[in-house]
A and B are shown apart, each in its own frame.
Chain A
C-alpha cells in the first residue's frame, strides 16, 4: 500500500464512523426526508426573496411581475437571450431584473440567495419538461 492510500484509509475511517453509514449508496427514507427538508428550506428562502421589497432598492419585488415565478421559464435556460446576443444561464436574467426593474445591485452568481431563487423557480416549475434553448 502506498503512503497516499494509507493516508486515505486513515482519514476515511473516522469519516465513516461519523456519518454512521458503511456504504456510499446505503441511505434510508429518513435520510431522504431530511434531504427534502433541506431542499425545501432553501426553496422557502427563495420564495421569501422573490416577494421581498428589499432585494432591490425601490421596493419592487420579483413577484410583482412574476407571480408564483410564472413567465420566467427556468426549464428553457441556458438559452440564447436574444436581447443580449448570447447564451446565458437563468441567473443572468435574475441579475438583470435585480439591476433594472428592481434598481438593485447584482448578486454574485454563487451567492446562496441566487441559489435559493433558482431553487424556488425550479420548484414552481416542477413537472415541466426541460427545454433548453426554447423561446
Chain B
C-alpha cells in the first residue's frame, strides 16, 4: 500500500476507539499523489465559539464540537502537514474562553496556525489572543506554496474606538451577527500594504493560499458575510496564477470563483448558520455556483457542523467537509471549468430536497 494513500482500512486503523463505536464521522478520502513531493494535505477547524457560563462552566454543546474535531483530526492518516484554526475560538473574547479553547487545541498532534475572528477580537482588540497564538497577520512557505493569514475582521476606527462606552459592550455589539449596530469587516490599509510587500518578491506561478475569517468577497452585508475592502485585497492577488482564499465566519458551505481566485468557506464546529437567502427581508449574493449544505436538523446536535480535510493538488485545493451528522461533501477545483465544484451534487439534476433553503 502506498503510504500516501488513505484507504478505508488505514483510516479505520487510525480511528481506533471512535471507529469501534460504530459511526464513521470522517470522510474516507482516497488520495492518489502523482508527485508526492508537491502534494500535501492540511486540516481546517473553525468557529467553535467556546462560551463561558460561569466559574468552570462552559456551554457543553460548543465544547463537544471542538473536542470532536480535534480528536478526529488527530486520527487522520496520512497525517496532515498542519492544521489551520479559522477564528471565533471564543464567543465573547474573554480570557476564560480563549484559555479553555487553547487548552483543547493544544491536544492537536500537529502544528497549527490561527486566524482571528471577531468574537476573539472585540473585547481587548486581540491582545490576549495574540499572547496565546502570536501575530494577527503573517505568512509562511510550505512545500512551494505561499500561505498568508490576514486579520480581516477589523472595522472603521470610529466604531472600534469611539462608539462604545466599554470594551464589553463593543464585544457584545459585534457578537450579534444580525445586530444593526455592528460594522462591516475590513482588512484595512495597514495590512493591505503589508500584503503588497509580502507578495512583492513572490514568483507569479507560486500557488498562494490565503486564510481569513471573513469572506474577502461581498455576499451579505447584514450578517457581515462581507469584507468592505474585498476588491482591493483581490486586486493584490490578481497577478498570481493560482490563488485560493479559505474563510470561516459563515458557518456553512460556500464556494466561488472570481477571476483567478477560488473561494472556499468552512463549516463551524459549533452551529450552522442559515443561508442569507432564507432571510425573507434581505437581498443576498450567495455565489451562484455554491451547492448549499443540507438544511440542519436541530434534533441532531452536531448536524451541519464539522471540520475540513484539505488536499493541495497542483496549486489548487480539494476540500472535504467532514460533517458529523450528514453525508460528507467534497468541493474540488475543476481544471476544465476553472472553478471549484462539488464532486457529487454540482449539476442541477443531482441536487436533493434538503439542499433547498427558503
* A interacts with B: yes
Q: Nearest chain-A residue to B271 (Cβ)?
A: A65
Whether A83 pairs with B299 at a CB distance below 8 angstroms is yes
Measured as residues with beta carbon below 8 angstroms from the partner, the interface class of chain B is 20 to 34
Contacts of B274 in A (CB 8 A): 66-67, 70-71
- Residues of A within 8 Å of B, CB-based: how many? 25
Contacts of B301 in A (CB 8 A): 101
Whether B192 sits at the interface, judged by CB under 8 Å, is no
Interface string of B256-288 (1 = CB under 8 A from A): 000000000000000111101011111000000
Q: With A58-B51, A73-B358 as given contacts, are A68 and B298 in contact (CB-CB < 8 Å)? A: no
Residue A68 contacts which of B51, B61, B281, B295 (CB distance < 8 angstroms)? B281
Q: With A65-B273, A68-B222 as given contacts, are A97 and B176 in contact (CB-CB < 8 Å)? A: no
Complexed CA–CA distance, A127 and B278 (Å): 13
Q: Nearest chain-A residue to B278 (Cβ)?
A: A70
Contacts of B358 in A (CB 8 A): 73
Whether A60 sits at the interface, judged by CB under 8 Å, is yes
Whether B59 pairs with A63 at a CB distance below 8 angstroms is no
Binding site for B on A (CB under 8 A): 51, 57-60, 63-68, 70-71, 73, 83, 96-97, 100-101, 124-128, 135
Contacts of A101 in B (CB 8 A): 61, 271, 298, 301
Whether A58 pairs with B53 at a CB distance below 8 angstroms is yes
Residue B272 contacts which of A63, A65, A68, A125 (CB distance < 8 angstroms)? A65
Chain A min CB distance to B254 (Å): 16
Q: How many A-B residue pairs have CB under 8 A?
A: 65
Q: With A63-B178, A64-B271, A68-B178 as given contacts, are A125 and B280 in contact (CB-CB < 8 Å)? A: yes
Chain B interface, DSSP helix/strand/loop, else mixed: loop
Contacts of A125 in B (CB 8 A): 280
Complexed CA–CA distance, A25 and B230 (Å): 56
Complexed CA–CA distance, A53 and B92 (Å): 12
Contacts of A135 in B (CB 8 A): 353
Chain B min CB distance to A29 (Å): 25
Contacts of A67 in B (CB 8 A): 177-178, 223, 273-274, 279
Q: Nearest chain-B residue to A93 (Cβ)?
A: B298
Whether B232 sits at the interface, judged by CB under 8 Å, is no
Whether A124 pairs with B281 at a CB distance below 8 angstroms is yes
Most buried by B among A68, A127, A128: A68
Interface string of B96-116 (1 = CB under 8 A from A): 000000000000000000000
Contacts of B295 in A (CB 8 A): 71
Chain B min CB distance to A130 (Å): 13
Complexed CA–CA distance, A63 and B175 (Å): 11
Residue B59 contacts which of A51, A60, A83, A100 (CB distance < 8 angstroms)? A60
Whether B297 sits at the interface, judged by CB under 8 Å, is yes
Q: With A51-B176, A59-B51, A63-B178 as given contacts, are A68 and B59 in contact (CB-CB < 8 Å)? A: no
Chain B min CB distance to A124 (Å): 6
Whether B178 pairs with A59 at a CB distance below 8 angstroms is no
Contacts of B299 in A (CB 8 A): 83
Q: Nearest chain-A residue to B222 (Cβ)?
A: A68
